Amino acid sequence: MFEPPWTDPADLVGSLKRDGKAVLAPAALGVLGVSAAALDALKPCWDDLPPDGYLRDGGRYRFRRHGCFIADGGTLTLAPHRAHWQPLDYNALHGGLQRWYVPLEQAMVASPVWSALLLNLARVTSALRGEQAWFIEAHPFRIDTSDGIGRPTPEGAHRDGVDLVAVLMVGRHNIKGGESRVFEAAGPAGQRFTMTQPWTTLLLDDQRLIHETTPIQPLDVAQRGWRDTLVITLRSGAFQGPREG
């Protein structure tokens, strides 16, 4: 496994502008106004994720919830529940499909560390793109190995059609694989590394980079394995929807 290319938190915005990405160690999350210890309070929410009923590859390995927020001028507002939607240009496997997932748990939405995380991600995105309102979608995921293999990104290497993508490692249990791969969208350069420490955070400029995560398998086939992550996307203008094609 390759060690993540850690970013100096003082250079977070500079790294995003220069390289299109940043990887924050758990101890560096103060730059996002949170701490790994505070985020640990959210971990129980991953034990109650419903199965994803929209997997077109026939798999049963993904569990998730979904919530939408608007961050504007330092204020975070929970948006009315809506379907998650992506165009086929960004998601060849599940694009064009309105996917209605179970909302986030109230315990997560009401947590002060949750609001702090989203507002600070909005602040970073404004530093990258200019001050404005940000339309945020949050996805807690569990990928498990009950089918023998789990695919964190069954759609393959992709962009999400947003401005910033944040991928937070929540935890790994009894698995191998799950390597993060990040590539230039308009060039050959790329990096590969494995996030193993809880609350390691990968930030991506979605307009410049594509990303994927390799499948996971159990270390001990007699036991279930899983990989828990939190994916947060921030987009200018509006949430993605079918009218945008």
236 torsion bin: left (phi>0), alpha (psi -120 to 50), beta (else): beta
CA distances for 9 relative to 4, 19, 122, 138, 201, angstroms: 14, 14, 16, 23, 11
Query: What is the structure's pLDDT at 90?
Result: 65
| Low-confidence residues in the chain, pLDDT < 50 | 244-245
- Position 245 scores a pLDDT of 37
| Cα angle 80-83-86, degrees, rounded to a multiple of 5 | 130
pLDDT at residue number 86: 74
Amino acid (1-letter code) at residue 100:
W
Report in angstroms the alpha-carbon separations of 60 from 146, 180, 238: 8, 21, 31
In this prediction, residue 51 carries a pLDDT of 96
pLDDT of residue 244: 45
Pairwise CA distance, residues 69 & 21, whole Å: 23
What pLDDT, on the 0 to 100 scale, is given for residue 136? 98
Q: Determine the Cα–Cα distance for residues 61 and 143; give it in Å rounded to an integer.
A: 5
**Residue found by looking up tokens 């975070």 in the block:** 76
